[in-house]
Structure 1
Amino acid sequence: MKKTLVALALAAVTGVASAEPQAVTVVLSSGSTMTQGMAMVLANQMQEQGAQVDILLCDRAGDLALREAGGEALKPNNVTPAQLLDAALKKGARASVCALYLPNTGRTPASLKDGITAARPDAMGAALLEGQRKVIAF
């Protein structure tokens, strides 16, 4: 009991008990299947290590957000980048396409997988400026 109280007091003083998860934004614009796959593998790994991951898909990478997204399966696990995106979403990642994607591809919001929206530049800009947020671009 005494050890538990000491641990709780130490956690409260150091902020460990109330620590927010690390916020990470993965910006993916590459059309390369391997680059897309590696970005999604790392996004999933960061989630498994406790991060809150936001994924911004731009340019050709926006195609991963489409309901009919397919793609080439990558070794060694024989999964596509779109399937890796789906796995991240199921674990709580948030994903959006850049604000330019839909109007410049002729797609509509209905073309996107459930839960994926078009990013609002003001909100995305504010998120990218958050002091504790890590931003990783592929």
Structure 2
Amino acid sequence: MSMFRKSMTALALILAVLFSFGAAINTASAEPKVTVKNSNKGLFVVVTSEDSMAQMMAMVLSTQTLKQGRSVRVLLCGEAGNLAVNGSKEKLFKPLNKSPQMLLKGLIAKGVKVEVCPLFLPNTGKQVSDLISGVIVAKPPLIATAMAEEGIKLLTY
């Protein structure tokens, strides 16, 4: 793929995300309970970035996917595992004035399975009791199976 084509593809993706982000933000505050229409078609979201804006975008896209009736499953690894820790530092993003943690808790409340990688707790000195309610420790064989399910798209941040 030529450098020009790669640049244009990246630009198109960025523009699509930016335009959809505005729509996502306007509807994120009053979200109705969603039932998944086709539970085997959706997103498996892996968040590893320590960048809170990237984390926020992952949560916004997860929320929008769920609102469209598709399944969402979230795996937090590395620095992103701190999203799942009680009392972790939160950064609010405009215009919602919400943090990635707030959207993550909203996803959990809607039944989204949220897991931290099994390396996170023992390598950060944290315990399962430090995690927000609804977050569990991932089991690699189950994660591998879930990521390979038909109709599931992998989204990484």
Range class of TM-score, shorter chain: 0.7 to 0.9
Q: Among 46, 54, 60, which residue is 1:41 paired with?
A: 60
Q: Does 1:20 align with 2:20?
A: no
- Residues 70 and 82 in structure 1, CA contact (< 8 A), matched pair in contact too: no
**Secondary structure of residue in 2 paired with 1:67:** coil
Q: Secondary structure at the match of 1:134?
A: strand
8 Å contact from structure 1 (residues 25, 128) kept in 2: yes
> Could you tell me how far 1:23 is from its partner in structure 2?
3.2
Between 30-39 and 70-79, report the one with greater CA deviation. Answer: 70-79
**1:54 aligns with one of 73, 76, 79:** 73
Give the alignment partner of residue 88 of structure 2, picking from 59, 63, 69: 69
SS at structure 2 position matched to 1:35:
helix
Give the superposed CA RMSD.
1.2
Alpha-carbon offset, residue 35 of structure 1: 0.2
Whose Rg is larger?
1
Q: In structure 2, what residue type is equivalent to 1:130?
A: E
8 Å Cα contact 1:70/1:80 also seen in 2: no
Contact 1:37 1:80 in 2 (8 A): yes
Q: Which string of whole-angstrom CA distances, capped at 9 and with x for unpartnered residues, describes residues 28-77 of structure 1?
A: 00000100000001100101000111000011110011121331101111
Report the TM-score when normalising by structure 2: 0.73
One-letter code aligned to 1:104: N
- Kept after mapping to 1: 8 A contact 2:38/2:69: no
Which ranges of 4 or more aligned residues in structure 1 deviate by more than 2 Å? none
Q: Percent identity?
A: 37
Aligned length: 120
CA deviation after TM superposition for structure 1 residue 97, in Å:
0.3
Q: TM-score, length-normalised on structure 1?
A: 0.83
1: CA distance, partners of 2:145 / 2:69 = 22
Instruction: Give distance in 2, aligned partners of 1:90 and 1:39.
Output: 17
Name stretches of at least 5 consecutive residues in structure 1 with no aligned partner: 1-18
C-alpha contact 1:65 1:97 (8 A) present in aligned 2 = yes
Secondary structure of the structure 1 residue equivalent to 2:149: coil
